[in-house]
Amino acid sequence: MSLQVAKRDLREVMVDSFISSVQSGLNIAVLVSDSTSTAKISPFSDKFPERLINVGIAEQSLVGTAAGMALGGYVAITTNAAPFLVHRANEQVQNDVCYSNTNVKLMGLNAGVCYGALASTHHAIDDISIMRGFGNIQIFAPSDSIEAEQIFAYAFNHVGPVYIRMDSAQLPHIHDHEYEFIVGQPDIMFEGDDLTIISMGSSSYEAVWAKRMLAKEGISAEIINLPSIRPLDHRKIVESLAKTGLVITVEEHSQHGGIGSLISEIIAEHGIGCRMKRLGFPEGAFAVSGPREQMREYVGIDAKGITKTAKEMISL
């Protein structure tokens, strides 16, 4: 596998998937909360205006209406910014979608610190922890457009609640076109012997670059991308951690409740002798505001920060 030159906005892949799904016979309804530009939804609304519902700036109504549409036989898909979905509509996600088991797909757009300088009101560094706290919802985080397209195809055809954590950057391909997403399976991108680096979403791009930087210094890193956070088969992760004995988790998310917490739980439950370092935004703190690249550097989740942490762990 290698980083590809091609870059594509995951939201464009999402909208193309909406269109192809309707054309293949899937009864989709897409709902926005005055978030048509955020969702880049115009190509879909131009083709299928009757399938787009705009509830205005009313996220609780967005989710409640989606649940009603699902009960009416639609595959209901909400498309709005992750911080407003998981915070403003928290009760409706829990009760109307998860508890009621309605066929709603929640697209958490612009997750992490995509909004940069707009600061904590627009950052979603707790969305995975919130969604993991709910029962009865599958959780995914695509890392590039090749993976995203396959996740969308699965999610739209799966009957039941789904949350998909979305990035707004134009992400380079870190998968070849032969890649196959398998629900519940960790994605072993590169094998290695010295330590394991586990990441999700756009952070996987940074992990792949760190792998290259470490290789130049003779360090062999195993890279695991987690597109499927729930469900998740633990076996490949357990095997990797037992082999290397060192693990770094990388996420544009709080250290609390995300994949760092998830991997800590796996280590404890399986009794693995493994040293661990979680990279992410500090637990109990808001993300600083500013350019996204600087925020990543500040908390050490860019490729240089991952490389630095890996070398420190190996030298102990």
Residue 182 resides in a domain: no
Q: What's the pLDDT score for residue 4?
A: 53
Q: What's the pLDDT score for residue 294?
A: 94
Residue located via tokens 């009603």: 68
Residue 180 resides in a domain: no
- 3-state class (DSSP) for residue 171: strand
Mark which of 172, 205, 227 sits at the end of a domain: 172
Whether 128 and 246 share a structural domain: no
Percent of the chain with pLDDT over 90: 94
Tokens of 195: 């330590």
User: pLDDT (tens digit, 9 = 90+) per residue, 9-65?
Assistant: 999 999 999 999 999 999 999 999 999 999 999 999 999 999 999 999 999 999 999
Q: What's the pLDDT score for residue 80?
A: 96
The rounded distance, in Å, linking the Cα atoms of 18 and 26 is: 9
CB-count burial class (<10 Å; 0-12, 13-18, 19+) for 63: buried
3-state secondary structure labels for all residues of 22-38: HHCCCCEEEEECCCHHH
Residue 118 resides in a domain: yes
Domain span at residue 245 reads: 187-315
Residue 147 scores a pLDDT above 80: yes
The rounded distance, in Å, linking the Cα atoms of 165 and 126 is: 11
User: pLDDT (tens digit, 9 = 90+) per residue, 98-114?
Assistant: 999 999 999 999 999 99
Whether 208 and 303 share a structural domain: yes
The rounded distance, in Å, linking the Cα atoms of 70 and 203 is: 33
Query: What average pLDDT does the segment 283-295 reach?
Result: 91
Residue 94 scores a pLDDT above 60: yes
Q: What's the pLDDT score for residue 3?
A: 53
Residue 200 or residue 169, greater confidence: 200
Q: What's the pLDDT score for residue 6?
A: 65
Query: What average pLDDT does the segment 120-134 reach?
Result: 96
Confidence at 2, pLDDT banded by 50, 70, 90:
very low
- 3-state class (DSSP) for residue 271: coil
Q: What's the pLDDT score for residue 277?
A: 98
Other beta carbons within 10 angstroms of residue 94's beta carbon come to 18
Residue 292 resides in a domain: yes
Whether 37 and 154 share a structural domain: yes
Mark which of 117, 143, 172 sits at the end of a domain: 172
Residue 140 resides in a domain: yes
- Considering the candidates 59, 147, 149, 252, report the single residue annotated as catalytic: 59
Query: What average pLDDT does the segment 247-257 reach?
Result: 97
Whether 140 and 13 share a structural domain: yes
Residue 2 resides in a domain: no
Residue 1 scores a pLDDT above 80: no
Whether 148 and 248 share a structural domain: no
DSSP 211-251: HHHHHTTT--EEEEE-SEEES---HHHHHHHHHHSEEEEEE
Distance between first and last Cα of the chain: 30
The rounded distance, in Å, linking the Cα atoms of 19 and 26 is: 10
HSE (side-chain half, CA atoms, 13 Å) at 270? 19
Please tell me the pTM assigned to this model.
0.96
Average pLDDT of every residue of the chain: 96
Query: What average pLDDT does the segment 285-300 reach?
Result: 92
Residue 5 scores a pLDDT above 90: no
Respond yes or no: is residue 59 known to be catalytic: yes
**How many domains would you assign to the chain?**
2
